[in-house]
């Protein structure tokens, strides 16, 4: 990824109350994800279709404890 963390506009969920969350940033054709507690750490990159599949699974309860 040629962008640096400083080049991106990072967002996190309004539901994040304790700061233990991830932040996302939009890229052309992709989504970047990082740990909000370690903003200088690794940045993961997902295609928009991969990110959409993850969000659908998460909102559909696929990752909920059973």
DSSP string, the chain: ----GGGS--B--TT--SS-SEEEEEETTEEEEEETT-TTS--EEEEHHHHHHHHHHHHTTTTS--
CA separation for the pair 39, 6 (Å, rounded): 10
pTM of the model: 0.78
CA gap 38, 13 in Å, rounded = 16
Residue range 2-46, pLDDT digits in tens: 556 678 999 988 777 777 788 999 999 999 999 988 989 999 999
pLDDT of res. 18: 74
Domains of the chain, by residue range, sit at: 5-59
Which residue has better confidence, 21 or 57?
57
């Amino acid at each position: 990824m040629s962008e640096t963390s400083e080049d991106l506009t990072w967002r996190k969920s309004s539901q994040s109350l304790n700061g233990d969350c991830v932040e996302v940033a939009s890229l052309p054709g992709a989504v970047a994800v990082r740990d909000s507690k370690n903003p200088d750490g690794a940045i993961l990159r997902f295609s928009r279709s991969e990110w959409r599949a993850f969000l659908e699974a998460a909102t559909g309860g696929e990752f909920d404890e059973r």
